Amino acid sequence: MPIEPFSAFEPYGGAMPPDVLVGQLLVATPQLADPNFARRVLLVLDHGDHGALGVVIDRPGGVPVGELMAPWHPLATPPAELFTGGPVARNALIGLVRLRGRPGAEPGAPEGPLGWRLLVDDPRPLGIVDLAVDPSSLDDAVVGARLFSGYAGWDSGQLEEEIDEGSWYVVPAEARDPISADPEGLWRRVLRRQGGALALVSGFPPDPALN
């Protein structure tokens, strides 16, 4: 069955656009040709009137975490590599950590480990972590971690313009997405699980001429 032109697809998959994009996934549409982002999935870490910031979550960088951040290696989810988070500030390191359970679930329990901030709620939630924190203090609380070199950044209104122009689909993140053991297959999986028109896009070939 032929696939409709991707420009006809609603960028939010038919859902209402969220007011704030923190914790949402940006999934590159087939028309996005920028080699930094083509057929990639990004997680939005920050978004507001000032602009937005996110990391590419499906591009392993090839450098073992143990070579640059040895203390974090035991917590790193395979492939335990430093991922390429984006073209901006490649010397900046960003860490994401998934917890074993919701912080604060018990009366008097802390709201999360030191240096951790919630991004995606879940029985095993995902958040950004301060990499200056001693990772050994997180051992009992963490089920997986991933480290990124660099990030993607947008000025005020720039990301919204790119979405409106047809560069990105915006869909909810699952807490497991950024620490997936199969990051290279994430683009297709995320689109497929949306169902409807976006699931059709998951079969769009890298080279439209091959369709």
79: preceding bond cis by omega (within 30 degrees): yes
Check residue 50 and give its pLDDT: 94
What would the pLDDT profile of 109-129 be if each residue is shown by its tens digit?
A: 456 788 899 999 999 999 999
- Residue 182: which domain range? 6-210
pLDDT band for position 3 (cuts 50, 70, 90): very low
Is the residue at 171 inside a domain?
Answer: yes
What would the pLDDT profile of 60-86 be if each residue is shown by its tens digit?
A: 999 999 999 999 999 999 999 999 999
CATH number at residue 115: 3.40.1740.10
Check residue 8 and give its pLDDT: 54
What would the pLDDT profile of 151-196 be if each residue is shown by its tens digit?
A: 999 999 999 999 999 999 999 999 999 999 999 999 999 999 998 8
Check residue 30 and give its pLDDT: 93
Is the residue at 41 inside a domain?
Answer: yes
pLDDT band for position 4 (cuts 50, 70, 90): very low
**Counted domains in the chain:** 1
Other CB atoms within a 10 A radius of the CB of residue 65 amount to 24
Is the residue at 1 inside a domain?
Answer: no
b or e along 70-106 (b: 16 or more beta carbons within 10 Å of the residue's beta carbon)?
A: eebbebbbebbbbbbbbeeeeeebbbbbbbeebbeee
Is the residue at 57 inside a domain?
Answer: yes
